[in-house]
């Protein structure tokens, strides 16, 4: 569906389609990104996420549909877009020997109003390693440097693609806090990710893309609500309980035994109905767990099993991507 523009829309994508030969990378994508938000693009490998953001960055020419960033056609207005949009793409490789500070200073020289490299190094916690060669940085430091490079032009919009892939849990958490700080400093962010937890934690809204189509677009809570079809609780009981007692309750859909536990699914009244029934029999549930729907559930409900992949994005996009030159 095309989106109606709002005043705070920074990015408007309507009916985007992009093919590479016989491969339909993006079939039909419409979405908007509002100023000041962290907008997540989530989907399995090969769903068309990177091609979508490359089109937003002006690196791909759409076969059909329109893309506007701050009202500009990014492919045709590349020089203006370069100052507006900072991109941290997947394979952001730098020469092994370049020092962190040198890389930032070099990139700063490409922009009319760059950020101060020393300040950015400080903000990203890289001051200590400013004279360390890129090849000697840790995975987290490399990632932070690539984020710094996306921010060096003082962009309004930063596109972060798979930014925490390959990082350990602590470095990933640190990077999340950094992304929040960047947004709080006034930069709108598009975050491409495989990680459900990351999207749920960071994003104001998320588009789930599968096979080149937007299959859902909402807040994390909205996506979870839409996927929540039933409640699930599990518990043990001290004595004997016939499953038929629970199955007879209108709120209950199913009762199964998992070892010593009873797992019951049903509607929103499930918990009260089960606890009340047990109480009327002089029993109390032990070790009671209620299971909350998570973004994973939404993802599983929306993306067919044969197209899901593990969240370890080791199987990246084609290496050494080359981009299309803009029409002048």
Ligand X SMILES: Nc1ncnc2c1ncn2[C@@H]1O[C@H](COP(=O)(O)OP(=O)(O)OP(=O)(O)O)[C@@H](O)[C@H]1O
Nearer to ligand X, 186 or 318 (CB): 318
**Which residues are CB-neighbours of 75 under 8 A, at least 6 positions away?**
55, 58, 60, 61, 62, 67, 324, 326, 327
Nearer to ligand X, 43 or 266 (CB): 43
**Interacting stretch for ligand X, rule CB under 6 A, among 137-145, 150-158, 176-184, 313-321?**
313-321
Nearer to ligand X, 126 or 159 (CB): 159
* Residue 137 DSSP one-character state: S
Nearer to ligand X, 13 or 255 (CB): 13
> What is the tally of helices (H) and strands (E) in the chain?
11, 13
From 13, 32, 43, 216, residue interacting with ligand X (rule: CB under 6 A): 43
Rounded Cα–Cα distance for residues 109 and 107 (Å): 5
Nearer to ligand X, 164 or 231 (CB): 164
**Interacting stretch for ligand X, rule CB under 6 A, among 41-49, 74-82, 127-135, 237-245?**
41-49
CA angle 142, 143, 148 (to 5 degrees): 95
Decide: is 311 part of the binding site for ligand X (CB under 6 A). no
Decide: is 45 part of the binding site for ligand X (CB under 6 A). yes
Q: Which two tokens stand for residue 181?
A: 């700080």
* Binding to ligand X, residues 1-20 (CB under 6 A): 20
Radius of gyration of the chain (CA): 24
Instruction: Spell out a b/e string for 7-39, using b for 16 or more CB atoms within 10 Å of the CB, else e.
Output: eebbbbbbebbbeeeeebbbbbbbbbbebebbb
Decide: is 40 part of the binding site for ligand X (CB under 6 A). no
From 10, 11, 38, 47, residue interacting with ligand X (rule: CB under 6 A): 47
**Interacting stretch for ligand X, rule CB under 6 A, among 148-156, 238-246, 249-257, 310-318?**
310-318
Residues that bind ligand X (CB under 6 A): 20, 23, 25, 43, 45-51, 316-318, 321
């Amino acid at each position: 569906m095309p989106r109606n523009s709002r005043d705070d829309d920074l990015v408007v994508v309507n009916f985007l389609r992009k093919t590479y030969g016989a491969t339909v990378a993006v079939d039909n994508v419409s979405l908007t990104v509002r100023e000041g938000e962290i907008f997540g693009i989530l989907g399995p490998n090969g769903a068309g996420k990177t091609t979508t953001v490359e089109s937003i960055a002006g690196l791909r020419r759409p076969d059909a549909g329109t893309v506007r960033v701050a009202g500009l056609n990014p492919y045709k207005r590349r020089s203006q877009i370069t100052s507006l949009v900072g991109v941290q793409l997947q394979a952001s490789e730098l020469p092994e020997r370049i020092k962190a500070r040198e890389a930032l200073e070099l990139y700063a020289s490409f922009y009319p109003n760059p950020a101060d490299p020393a300040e950015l190094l400080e903000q990203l916690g890289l001051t200590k390693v400013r004279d360390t060669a890129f090849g000697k940085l840790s995975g987290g430091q490399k990632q932070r440097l690539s984020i710094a490079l996306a921010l060096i032009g003082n962009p309004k919009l930063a596109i972060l693609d798979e930014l925490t892939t390959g990082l350990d849990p602590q470095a990933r958490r640190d990077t999340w806090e950094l992304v929040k700080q960047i947004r709080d400093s006034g930069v709108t962010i598009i975050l491409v990710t495989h990680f459900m937890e990351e999207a749920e934690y960071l994003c104001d809204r998320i588009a789930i893309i599968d096979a080149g189509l937007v299959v859902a677009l909402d807040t994390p809570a909205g996506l979870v609500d839409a996927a929540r079809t039933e409640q699930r609780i599990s518990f043990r009981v001290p004595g004997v309980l016939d499953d038929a007692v629970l199955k007879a309750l209108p709120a209950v859909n199913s009762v199964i035994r998992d070892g010593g536990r009873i797992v019951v699914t049903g509607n929103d009244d499930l918990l009260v109905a089960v606890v009340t029934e047990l109480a009327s029999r002089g029993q109390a549930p032990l070790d009671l767990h209620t299971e909350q729907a998570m973004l994973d559930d939404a993802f599983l409900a929306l993306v067919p099993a044969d197209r899901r992949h593990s969240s370890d994005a080791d199987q990246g996009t084609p290496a050494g991507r080359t981009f299309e030159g803009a029409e002048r």
